[in-house]
Structure 1
Amino acid sequence: MLTALDAPAEKLDDQEANFVAQIRNHGWFRSNIFEDETGPGFSYTTGFWAGAEAPEIIVFSLKSEIAHDVLWDVYRDLKAGESFPIGQRLSTVFSNIEAVLLPVSKDFYPAYLGWSRWFYAGDDWPCLQLIWPDSQGIFPWEEGYEERFANSQPNLTGAPWPSI
């Protein structure tokens, strides 16, 4: 698979060169998008697929530092050979709450995953959405999910939320 890592350095602008350098040096890069009038802030990875043969990950509405730390831990675990089942409750991603990983529909790649699309020269790579529960441990698809979190995690599966 060809990626931006294979691009001649003279073909990259400064921002692209820095992005590629971060992936060369660390194995992956986290893009952080701030909340605005169109939706919540989010972070997503680039390099998990190329360097760890694992899907990229997108997560919404976490503080930047928390998202970064969680994604670093996931990357280290993946590089150490751990795998994370899709569509199941996981107690190993966050230290004090469960999480669920769900496949992201490629329909959402253009709106949310720009740098990854550039890096991989298209959409031929997988991405998972890391879903966290509300303060009571209830996920968005479950009865009783706290209303204050209703717009914190858009559903990027391309289907109704699953029942897990």
Structure 2
Amino acid sequence: MDQRLIDAIDKHGWQGMSVASRADEPDDGPAFCYSIGFETSLGLPNVIIFGLRTNVMHGMLWQVFDALKAGRTLEDRSVWPEPLEGYKCELRAVHRTNLVSDYFGYGLWYHERYLERTDPYSAFQLFWPGVGEKLLPWEEGCHEDVIAAQPRLDLPHKDLH
């Protein structure tokens, strides 16, 4: 598996890592997908997305990768319409207390063990709005399902809901 990851990053510039939620463990939290390799191919932090179907999240990460490759920059609290046409998504820096193996296991391995980097690992979370009201999780009136599907990794760990 390690070699497949390394080969995919060499070939495509990054690899998506999907973590499915388990129906038998509802407290496990929502499914998520994160990039590995943005730091190698683009010199930028990786990105994580929660709570959508795996293929949708993977497609959104491709949109982010392509935009970054074309010159777009990663900035905290920047609005990104590209990943979901007709919806404003927002990138927020992941708080250092949430840069843990529960969320970034293979990404941390790649950063620390394979690349042998000693600088801190960093990442951004891409938040998406609800379909009906088009509100992001922190906006007043956002549907509870949208909030529950996206843990706030931009907040210190003790503040996660």
Give TM class, smaller chain.
0.7 to 0.9
Asked if 1:24 corresponds to 2:20, the answer is no
Deviation at 1:93, TM superposition (A): 2.9
Whether the 8 Å contact between 2:15 and 2:36 is mirrored in structure 1 is yes
Query: Counterpart of 1:145?
Result: 142
The one of 66, 71, 84 equivalent to 1:81 is 71
Deviation at 1:62, TM superposition (A): 1.5
2:94 partner letter? V
Deviation at 1:81, TM superposition (A): 1.6
Q: How many residues align?
A: 147
Query: CA RMSD, aligned part only?
Result: 1.8
Q: What is the SS of the residue equivalent to 1:86?
A: coil
CA distance in 2, matches of 1:123, 1:60: 26
CA distance in 2, matches of 1:33, 1:123: 25
Whether the 8 Å contact between 1:49 and 1:126 is mirrored in structure 2 is no
CA distance in 2, matches of 1:102, 1:66: 19
Q: What is the SS of the residue equivalent to 1:57?
A: strand
Q: Highest CA radius of gyration, 1 or 2? A: 1
Q: TM-score, normalised by structure 2?
A: 0.83
CA distance in 2, matches of 1:62, 1:96: 16
Q: TM-score, normalised by structure 1?
A: 0.82
CA distance in 2, matches of 1:30, 1:57: 10
Query: Counterpart of 1:35?
Result: 21
Aligned-pair identity (%):
29
Query: Counterpart of 2:103?
Result: 112
Q: Could you report, residue by residue, the CA deviation over 1:95-118 in whole angstroms, capped at 9, with x for unpaired residues?
A: 120001001122222220000100
CA distance in 2, matches of 1:76, 1:88: 16
Query: Counterpart of 1:100?
Result: 90
Q: What is the SS of the residue equivalent to 1:74?
A: helix
Deviation at 1:123, TM superposition (A): 6.7
Query: Counterpart of 1:4?
Result: none
Deviation at 1:91, TM superposition (A): 2.1
CA distance in 2, matches of 1:74, 1:88: 12
Task: Mark the CA change 1:120 to 1:52 in structure 2 (over 3 Å): closer, same or farther.
Answer: same
